[in-house]
Structure 1
Amino acid sequence: MKIGILTFHGAHNYGSMLQNYALQQAIKQFDGSLQPVTINLRNKAQDDMYNIFKPFREFQDKRRYLFKIIMSPWRKQLERKQQLFEEFLSENISLTPLVRTGNEIPDIDDITTYITGSDQIWNFTAHDFDWSYLLDFVADDSDIKRISYAPSMGPKPSIDTLSADEKKKAEKLLKKFTAISVRESKTADVIRELGKLNCLPLVLPDPTLLLTAETWADIARKPAGLKAEKYIFLYNPYFLPEVYEQAKEASRITGLKVITSTLAPKTILPSKDFMKILEVGPREFLYLVKNAEYVIGRSFHVAVFAMIFQKKFIAVEGMNDSRLGNFLKEINMERCATLQGNVKVVLKNLDSENPPIHACMDRLRESGIKFLRENLL
């Protein structure tokens, strides 16, 4: 039996690609007869967002011209980074042929269930949002089961941006799901606002938490250019000034250099004192988290991997992000979060003896596995 997965698998974002890999691997562990396959939907908006060095004439968003010019000094490293993402995808994810719209998704023999999730695929304000992530392409009279596994509506879940017709469309599509799970409680609250559904949304862990630290360590790979010395790993996929300011403060207090694997026009000056290692795909990202002395950022997925590898994580103003705050509460690690830049206090908390979080992590893993077993077997 084939299980079709729809998610942001093609985004050149570490969390996006690794959560897809984790969901695939978790399904494979249940029963040898289950064959998860990811629907290779990569719309034009997503292509524009991540393929920054394609020819100018191919960009839909002309503002990307300036981005391409500004980033040209790092072109070689960034092109290699893109290559590492595509290599990981082709070598580790079972994919259908490439499609650009939901209308192009082929009928696949033996698909019994579609799983949509995880990541921010239900973030209606996302640049690459597509109604296919609510399975609008599946025929109304189809007997294919539809479930969601931990999709997110983003940092500030809302349906306020939707028109009245779009809200009705979302409600109609969600009513066809036989099981709905989401990643955060606030996303669950918004789903309930859409109307009376056939099932209540459950809050479940991100797929990355379904695999153990040992499993992730097996695929980690040391990045080119990384020297054998202690460091703080900074990761934030979008620019927030406070992240860079607090990373500098953490470096000053600890005496450790800061390494970052991301670069965007707005971060060039703020990160001038950091070591940039840009040729970093999903496997190299795992290595940088696993071997850091401290990890800092306000990214949900870097927090997850820091906890999986039992690292000291500084969540910059972390309780202000619904996704990150929800996760830290679940594992009783609110002490990781800075408040108005109190980096010194957080570092002191992290360096003192902390209670283990293994039991919390195991509980989350078991809840996700239970949901998948009940709805796939």
Structure 2
Amino acid sequence: MKKIIITTFQRAHNYGAMLQALALQNILEKRGFDVRFLDYKDVNIEAPYRLFPLRGKKGIEALKTVLRSVRYIGPNLIRRHRFFTFQKEKLHLEKKKTDFFADYYITGSDQVWNTDITNGLSDIYTLNFGKKDIKRISYGASIGKGELSVEEQIVFRSKLQYIDSISVREETAKRLLEQIFPNKHISVVLDPTLLLERKEWENLLEGVKTQKNKKYILAYMVEENQEFRKIARDLEEKTGYPIFHFEKKNFGKNVKSCYTTGVLEFVEYIKNAEYVVTTSFHATVFSIIFNKKFWIIPHEITGSRVIDLVNSLELSNRIVNTLDMFLKVNYNEDINYERVERILDIKRQQSLQWLENEVKAKDE
């Protein structure tokens, strides 16, 4: 059995990071590979999820962070435990010291090439390790922003030159890399979570229990955004449905925090929601998979990811940047998911074909 080592954000206590890793592992294992995640401990990725996230903070700011962390120590411990359990039980980690032996190296998906997150391009996420004759590919790597400085372009040119086949998740990333590598073919593929069809996700959710007998609005925010809260509250007023959200504290009446929710439970909450309001790429993905009525407030910095996705599926009308924009749309407007599914199925088959062309389970 051929072996694949993947580098990604397998230690981030982030729902999207965990779910894209699970999906790519699932897809490759079904095709006969031994799949392992290089269990690289990246301080840049892990720091925001520590019990006391003090990195880069001093004095009064550090003291305030400690006091806030102590206040939520109970929920934080529960949440950490659920993420660690998911990592241990669902992801196949290369725990021991490794000689990096594998038939293929893959980096991705997720924002592995977002230098703002990784504090520069890491050798781990650009596959600059191991024997030179091992094939290196990126699957659905994301840069997470719309522009690269001249200095960043130089680093990208140096770090990515030894990757044999490059695929990215967004058209924006493709455009940026084509400027750096004009003679290299750059492909755009789906995020791994979209490679699995709805039925496959439902099988993975078997036995997962959340709120199923109550109508609610699922609100998931990955950055502070007052317009997001205003839109969620306006939708709550119009429908009378409670808001289920994932912040540590509630932001009003008829609101329930699901902060300690586990990874697969997060997906189940989206599956059972009446409406979804989000700033998140992966909450948008699962809203599409489960045919939800959803509204997106794109992330201020990394919003190109979700904008490219909805544009590719002819869903750009689901973007509302402000409450004023939301008030001008029909909040209850149906989505033509038959059309979306047709487009998505074509892109899914193209992405799977790209992957199968690049990694072969058997020698030809």
Q: Could you tell me the TM-score, scaled by structure 2's length?
A: 0.88
Q: Which string of whole-angstrom CA distances, capped at 9 and with x for unpartnered residues, describes residues 292-345 of structure 1?
A: 000111211100000001111111258992111111111111221225423244
**Distance in structure 2 (CA, Å) of the matches to 1:19 and 1:133:** 15
**Distance in structure 2 (CA, Å) of the matches to 1:65 and 1:127:** 25
Displacement of 1:177 in angstroms is 1.5
Displacement of 1:271 in angstroms is 5.8
> What is the match of residue 182 of structure 1?
168
Displacement of 1:88 in angstroms is 0.7
Q: Give yes or no for the alignment of 1:146 onto 2:131.
A: no
Displacement of 1:189 in angstroms is 1.2
How has the CA–CA distance of structure 1 residues 107 and 271 changed in structure 2, closer, same or farther, with 3 Å as cutoff? farther
Find the residue that maps to 1:37 and give its secondary structure.
Answer: strand
Q: How many residues align?
A: 352
Displacement of 1:66 in angstroms is 2.8
Counterpart of 2:270, as a letter, is V
Q: Give yes or no for the alignment of 1:374 onto 2:357.
A: yes
List gaps (5 residues or longer) in structure 1.
Answer: 99-104
Of the three residues 233, 243, 246, the one matched with 2:231 is: 246
Q: Give yes or no for the alignment of 1:86 onto 2:80.
A: no
Find the residue that maps to 1:306 and give its secondary structure.
Answer: helix
Find the residue that maps to 1:126 and give its secondary structure.
Answer: helix
> What is the match of residue 295 of structure 2?
314
**Distance in structure 2 (CA, Å) of the matches to 1:262 and 1:128:** 26
Displacement of 1:51 in angstroms is 1.6
Counterpart of 2:198, as a letter, is A
- Two-structure CA RMSD over aligned residues (Å): 2.5
Q: Give yes or no for the alignment of 1:282 onto 2:273.
A: no
Check whether the contact 2:52–2:69 (CA below 8 A) recurs between aligned residues.
no
> What is the match of residue 9 of structure 2?
8
How has the CA–CA distance of structure 1 residues 317 and 96 changed in structure 2, closer, same or farther, with 3 Å as cutoff? closer
Check whether the contact 1:4–1:114 (CA below 8 A) recurs between aligned residues.
yes
Check whether the contact 1:250–1:343 (CA below 8 A) recurs between aligned residues.
no
Q: Could you tell me the TM-score, scaled by structure 1's length?
A: 0.85
**Distance in structure 2 (CA, Å) of the matches to 1:312 and 1:182:** 27
Counterpart of 1:86, as a letter, is F
1:266-305 → structure 2 map (5 Å cutoff): 268=249, 270=251, 274-305=255-286
> What is the match of residue 343 of structure 2?
360
Counterpart of 1:298, as a letter, is T
Displacement of 1:128 in angstroms is 5.6
How has the CA–CA distance of structure 1 residues 346 and 15 changed in structure 2, closer, same or farther, with 3 Å as cutoff? farther
Displacement of 1:354 in angstroms is 6.1
Q: Give yes or no for the alignment of 1:44 onto 2:35.
A: no
**Distance in structure 2 (CA, Å) of the matches to 1:48 and 1:124:** 15
Displacement of 1:248 in angstroms is 0.8
Check whether the contact 1:82–1:281 (CA below 8 A) recurs between aligned residues.
no
Check whether the contact 2:142–2:173 (CA below 8 A) recurs between aligned residues.
yes
Counterpart of 2:35, as a letter, is P
How has the CA–CA distance of structure 1 residues 357 and 257 changed in structure 2, closer, same or farther, with 3 Å as cutoff? same
Check whether the contact 1:209–1:304 (CA below 8 A) recurs between aligned residues.
yes
List gaps (5 residues or longer) in structure 2.
Answer: none
**Distance in structure 1 (CA, Å) of the matches to 2:281 and 2:352:** 20
Counterpart of 1:231, as a letter, is Y
Q: Which string of whole-angstrom CA distances, capped at 9 and with x for unpartnered residues, describes residues 175-228 of structure 1?
A: 21211010111111111222445x3111111010011112222333224xx473
**Distance in structure 1 (CA, Å) of the matches to 2:116 and 2:335:** 40
Segments of 4+ in structure 1 off by > 6 A?
none
**Distance in structure 2 (CA, Å) of the matches to 1:107 and 1:27:** 22
Check whether the contact 2:198–2:289 (CA below 8 A) recurs between aligned residues.
yes
Find the residue that maps to 2:224 and give its secondary structure.
Answer: coil
**Distance in structure 1 (CA, Å) of the matches to 2:119 and 2:213:** 38
Check whether the contact 1:5–1:116 (CA below 8 A) recurs between aligned residues.
yes
The percent identity for this pair of structures is 28
1:214-225 → structure 2 map (5 Å cutoff): 214-220=199-205, 221-223=208-210
Which segment is superposed worse, 212-221 or 89-98? 212-221
Displacement of 1:278 in angstroms is 1.7
